[in-house]
Amino acid sequence: MNGMTRRTFLSSTPALGSVGALPLAGGCASTAGSTMPASGADAGPIAMSLSVNRTPHALSLDPRTTLLDALREHIGLTGTKKGCDQGQCGACTVHLDGRRVLSCLTLAASVGPREVTTIEGLAPAPDALHPMQQAFIDHDAFQCGYCTPGQIMSAVACVSEGHARSAAEIREYMSGNICRCAAYPNIVAAIEQGRAGMPGT
Amino acid sequence: MRPFAYVRASSTAAASQAAAGAGLSTPPTAAPVQFLAGGTTILDLMKLDVMQPGTLVDLAALRPSKGSDIEAGPAGLRLGAFATMAEAAEHPAVLRDYPMIAESLQLAASAQLRNMANLGGNLLQRTRCMYFRDPRSTACNKREPGSGCAALDGVNRQHAILGTSEDCIATYPGDFAQALIALDATLEIAGSDGTRTLPFADLHRMPGRTPHIETTLAPGDLITAIRVPAGPWTRRSRYLKIRDRESFQFALASAAVALELQGDSVRSARVALGGVATVPWRAREAEAALAGRPLDEASASAAAGAAYAAARPRRHNAFKVELGQRTLVRALLEARQMQV
């Protein structure tokens, strides 16, 4: 496919190209939704801006759109995965202002000015890996890999929250990320290595 | 998910007005206008089509912009309702002086959910009864008043054995609530008529004949803060939770205990039980059985027997009678050993 990867292919499909995800030229000061009274509310699309990996995006989305679907279907960042879509598996984990949350149970409209960080925004440079990403490779901390972006986003937050001081603590504070391949021993080992590579921890 | 309108509330009063005006004749859970805070319960239930609000009022703008909105002083603890579960669980004063509260939050949900869910919403989380959560199940008095209860003679391993009725045996799923009811917490509530306080013990209603009415709140009522009075028992307190898996799971049985000891004797005990009852459950019978007695395995077992004397197990959950008693005994004996 002319050197086209699966990811670039997905990003260029017509379904994705037809939706209104427009990078903003300037800042993203506008806020989502309106403050009109409920009696005058309707269920139509609402304008919002999302800052994702430090890039602003102006969007007009159905209020039902979750942050997960906004990222995958409207902004084209498919690294964040949809697993259970009901808050039980952790595959959709992203950071909001540095704190890990589930994007499947977050409405895009409610994100507001908070900074969204996804797996695509974790590395310090386009050709580099975050220490936690490298640690997952070094420890073969996956089999199918579907849960891996969520595992890595959760692992980075687990370390920065100060809850990765022992293997037991890692297991407890990573319990929101399910790996159906059961690569858990490798994931714990990867986090212990990744922790050592994260500055200030 | 069904379509809904999304609005942001600019003030507590505006939020209350928006929610109150649209559904005064319905219990708050069925009102057409619902609040959105952490979203971890309501968005889940909307995806399942269990809740079908026409409007979500986002409370994000009411959240304090700085700090965790948690204050500790000589009179007690004030937890802002918008503090997240994680903020409260990791607050130094909560960890030191109210370990039961910290444990009840640390042992609940997952790290991601604890970063999202607010304390006020946590108290109002709804049952995990699978018949309630599945609209294809036609019999659920909580979801469809008068439709029956599929759990009574269905798969009821996770269901309640205390506080049940012939119309509903759904378990109240929360952990934090057990700490609050044990410690005599009160709530600050903003409603369409102004603000008021409510003993936490008066928030939840037993199912009785009306399991669809879960609380004493009216549409538009918003929990704004939780107050926990100080006392010599709060440091010697703990929350023990027994689950099917080690983490990220609801309780099969739990015990919240706070003790005031004089030597080896119990001056006063505060006991609540989770995972086994339809509402947050204060076990006054256990407290009475302990008062003035030396705390040992015999007195703890007697207290646990008193706590579960009224248990009404069904086909699959009879194991909870013994599990619940053992959980309480262990929690009491471990609290006795705490260095405070």
Boundaries of CATH 3.30.390.50 in chain B?
Answer: 237-337
Residues of chain B with pLDDT under 50: none
Closest to A176 (Cβ–Cβ): which among B5, B48, B113? B113
To the nearest whole Å, the CA of A97 is away from the closest chain B CA by 11
- Find the closest chain A residue to B36 by CA distance: A110
Inter-chain contact A90–B110, Cβ cutoff 8 Å? yes
How many Å lie between the alpha carbon of B268 and the closest alpha carbon of chain A?
A: 33
List phi, psi (to 5°) of B266.
-90, 115
Residues 5-44 of B with CB under 8 A from A: 5-10, 14, 17-19, 21-22, 33, 36, 39-40, 43-44
Residue of B33, B44, B110 with shortest CB distance to A38? B33
C-beta neighbour count of B24 within 10 angstroms: 12
Q: Give, in words, the CATH class of A47-121.
A: alpha beta
**In B150-183, which positions are buried (b, 16+ CB within 10 angstroms) versus exposed (e)?**
bbbebebebbbbbbbbebbbbbbbbbbbbbbbbb
Tell me the sheet residues that pair with B239. B256
CATH top-level class of B237-337: alpha beta
Q: What is the pLDDT of residue A39?
A: 43
Query: Chain A residues within 8 A (CB-CB) of chain B?
Result: 31-39, 41-43, 46, 62-64, 66, 85-87, 90, 93, 99-102, 105-107, 109-110, 112, 154, 157-158, 161, 163, 171-177
- Name the minimum distance, in Å, from the CA of A101 to any CA of chain B: 5
Chain B residue with Cα closest to A46: B6
Give the one of B19, B33, B43 whose C-beta lies nearest to A105's C-beta: B43
Q: Is the ipTM of this complex over 0.90?
A: yes
Which residue stretches of chain A have pLDDT < 70?
A: 1-41, 200-201
Strands B33-36 and B55-58: parallel
Residue A9: what pLDDT? 55
- Residue B282 carries which side chain, given as an amino acid letter? R
Residues of chain B with CATH 3.30.43.10: 5-61
Are the C-beta atoms of residues A72 and A158 closer than 8 Å to each other? no
> DSSP per residue over chain A, as a string?
-TT--HHHHHHTSHHHHTS--EE-SS-----SS----GGG---S-EEEEEEETTEEEEEEE-TT-BHHHIIIIII----S--SSSSSSS-TTEEEETTEEEEGGGSBGGGTTTPEEE-GGG-SSSTT---HHHHHHHHTT--SS-TTHHHHHHHHHHHHHTT--SSHHHHHHHTTTS--TT--HHHHHHHHHHHHHHSTT-
- DSSP H/E element including B333: helix B319-337
Query: Which residues are CB-neighbours of B102 under 8 A, at least 6 positions away?
Result: B88, B89, B90, B91, B94, B95
Q: According to the model, what pLDDT value does residue A25 have?
A: 37
Interface test with B, best of A92, A102, A106 (most B CBs within 10 A): A102
* Cβ <8 Å between B3 and A63: yes
Mapping DSSP to helix (H, G, I), strand (E, B) and coil, where does residue B12 land? helix
For B5-61, the fitting CATH number among 3.40.50.12500, 3.40.50.620, 3.40.50.1220, 3.30.43.10 is 3.30.43.10
The partner residue sitting opposite A63, judged by closest CB among B5, B33, B113, is: B5
The residues spanned by each domain of chain A are 47-121, 131-197
Q: In the CATH scheme, what is the code of domain A131-197?
A: 1.10.150.120
Contact A35 B7 (CB under 8 A): yes
Q: Is B60 on the interface with A (CB under 8 A)?
A: yes
CB pairs under 8 A between A and B: 120
Distance from CA of B44 to the nearest CA of A (A): 6
B134-137 — which CB contacts under 8 Å span 24+ positions? B134/B48, B135/B48, B135/B49, B135/B50
Task: Give residue B215's Cα distance to chain centre.
Answer: 11
pLDDT of residue A1: 43
First CA to last CA across chain A, in angstroms? 43
- Name every chain B residue with its beta carbon within 8 A of the beta carbon of A93: 112
CB contact under 8 A, A105 and B110: no
CA separation for the pair B91, A152 (Å, rounded) = 26
Write b or e for each residue in B300-321: b if 16 or more Cβ atoms lie within 10 A of its Cβ, otherwise e.
bbebbbbbbeebebbeebeebb
Contact B123, B176 (CB under 8 A): yes
**Cβ contact (<8 Å) for B39 and A107?**
yes
> Are B247 and A171 in contact (CB < 8 Å)?
yes
A61 to chain B: closest CA residue = B6
pLDDT for B28 equals 84
Q: Which tokens belong to B81?
A: 């309702």
Interchain contact, B40 vs A87, CB within 8 Å: yes
